[in-house]
Structure 1
Amino acid sequence: MMDGPTDAASIIWYLAVLVLVGSSLLYRRIAWRSAIGMAAAWVAVFAIILTIVSYRNGIASIAHRVSGDILGRPRQNADGNALRVALAEDGHYWVDGTVDGAPTRFLIDSGATFTALSGAAATASGLQMDTRRIPVTIETANGQVQAARSMVSSMQVGPIKMDDLPVVVSPAFGKTNVLGMNFLSRLKSWRVEEGEMVLEP
């Protein structure tokens, strides 16, 4: 008669031990999974940071292009000391710069001999016309126009800065300002690369 209760108690005791051991193993298993998951998360974080640091210029370039598309600005970005300018929808390369500190938008035109400023851009930058010299005859899409000569003390586009750059000025240019060969020829190089105009000082 004593065997029955004793066997039942033993079974209960063994079951309790198994539950405790199983619970301990389950806890350890969950803990290990958490540790592995945390380690994987940190590896992913460091990988993302390394990728951002390694490709920061490319990421900045993409961000600038996207913002330019959204806001309608000319797409340009500095690449070290060089300037990369994306092709605009009109098939031309446009760049933002300054003329003696005044913001000015330029069309890059390797077919133009001179850097040319509109009357409005010249007025905004405070340029003085050289009335002692004969005006220059410029060929435009609308025919020949007479342009006055002037000198820009400081012109900058992106990271590229030039001092004492001769320019021509005429109201006949309308609102268009042109970066011509007398600007481009002072650069180390200029070229088209993967659809972008690359200017290197």
Structure 2
Amino acid sequence: MRRDTILWVLLAILGVACLALVLNQDGRIVGLGEDEFASLVYLGTIGFGMAAALFLFSRTGLGQALRHLLVWIAVFAAVLAAYAFAPEMIAIKDRVMAVLVPGSVVALPNDGEHAQYLVTRGADGHFHLTGEVDGRPASFMVDTGASVIAMDTSTARSLGFHPDDLSFTNFVQTANGVARSAPIILDSVKVGDIERRNVRAAVTESDGLGTILLGMSFLDTLTSYDFRGNRLILTD
């Protein structure tokens, strides 16, 4: 096997590994956590490189072997640097995904006391994010003008509520004004790893919302929510 072939194989392995880390969104790759996967790639690359170096050195003269050694040292230095900065690279990847994938809720490094999550502003000027309501996937739009979590009747129906059984005797304040509504209690609302139980919500009488408004009945339970330009930081 020629030196160039071995080098290209090694670079291909590193390229695939980096691509897997960048595209991964659920925190696990082939059953391993991101840090464990990065460690496996790092150790595997060193092992592969040492085996390849021994193979090549056995078939070349001293001068050529030294030149090969310098190439492998450079490759190992690059791998070592990538491994050493893996947490920073993963954090950068997460922030890039938050920008590229609308609704992404990205965990931020924290001091161990409070978990923080990043959401970026959408093209329409609002903060959209994905999460769960009563264990079902849900799409939210942050609305500090809504006194409670609010949704229209079609959205409520998709979450298992029956609008015909609800009593639209209350009113809810939204960014679009006051709307007739029916009060409900959501067993669980989850955004990132932030989960709240028994959250007050309302179903509006019309079908005009098209999304779930993440109102103050959820936001007020957080330690803080900070708008920083085009970023929203949610602190558990």
- Give yes or no for TM over 0.5: yes
1:112 aligns to 2:146 (yes or no): yes
Q: Distance in 2 between matches of 1:169 and 1:132?
A: 8
1:43 aligns to 2:92 (yes or no): no
* 1:45 maps to amino acid: V
Q: How far apart are residue 36 of structure 1 and its match? A: 1.8
Which secondary structure state, in structure 2, belongs to the residue aligned with residue 106 of structure 1?
Answer: strand
CA contact (8 A) 1:102 1:124 kept: no
Equivalent residue number for residue 186 of structure 1:
221
Q: Tell me the alpha carbon deviations over residues 100-151 of structure 1, each in whole angstroms, 9 at most, x when there is no partner.
A: 122221110112211112212222222367x898722234566542101110
* 2:71 maps to amino acid: G
Which secondary structure state, in structure 1, belongs to the residue aligned with residue 122 of structure 2?
Answer: coil
CA contact (8 A) 2:143 2:175 kept: no
CA contact (8 A) 2:147 2:216 kept: yes
Equivalent residue number for residue 154 of structure 1:
188
Pair 137,77 (structure 1): closer, same or farther in 2 beyond 3 Å: same
1:200 aligns to 2:235 (yes or no): yes
Q: Distance in 2 between matches of 1:35 and 1:176?
A: 59
Which secondary structure state, in structure 2, belongs to the residue aligned with residue 32 of structure 1?
Answer: helix
CA contact (8 A) 1:98 1:157 kept: yes
Equivalent residue number for residue 87 of structure 1:
121
Equivalent residue number for residue 107 of structure 2:
78
Equivalent residue number for residue 212 of structure 2:
177
Q: Give the one of 98, 104, 108 matched to 2:132.
A: 98
CA contact (8 A) 1:120 1:171 kept: no
Structure 1 residue runs of 5 or longer lacking an equivalent are 1-26
Structure 2 residue runs of 5 or longer lacking an equivalent are 1-60, 110-114
Q: Distance in 1 between matches of 2:125 and 2:78?
A: 41
Q: Tell me the alpha carbon deviations over residues 22-66 of structure 1, each in whole angstroms, 9 at most, x when there is no partner.
A: xxxxx5433322222221211111112222233322223313533
Moved over 4 A (4+): 131-134, 139-143
Q: Which has the higher contact order (CA 8 A, sep 6+)?
A: 1
Q: Distance in 2 between matches of 1:172 and 1:40?
A: 64
* 1:74 maps to amino acid: G
CA contact (8 A) 1:128 1:150 kept: no
Pair 52,116 (structure 1): closer, same or farther in 2 beyond 3 Å: same
Which secondary structure state, in structure 2, belongs to the residue aligned with residue 55 of structure 1?
Answer: helix
User: How high is the sequence identity, in percent, across the aligned residues?
Assistant: 25
Which secondary structure state, in structure 1, belongs to the residue aligned with residue 157 of structure 2?
Answer: helix
Q: Tell me the alpha carbon deviations over residues 82-115 of structure 1, each in whole angstroms, 9 at most, x when there is no partner.
A: 2211000000001112111222211101122111
Matches within 5 A, 1:5-16: none
Q: Give the one of 164, 169, 189 matched to 1:135.
A: 169
Work out which of the two has the higher radius of gyration on C-alpha atoms and give 1 or 2: 1
* 2:211 maps to amino acid: T
* 1:153 maps to amino acid: D
How many residues are paired up?
170
What is the TM-score of this pair, normalised by structure 1? 0.73
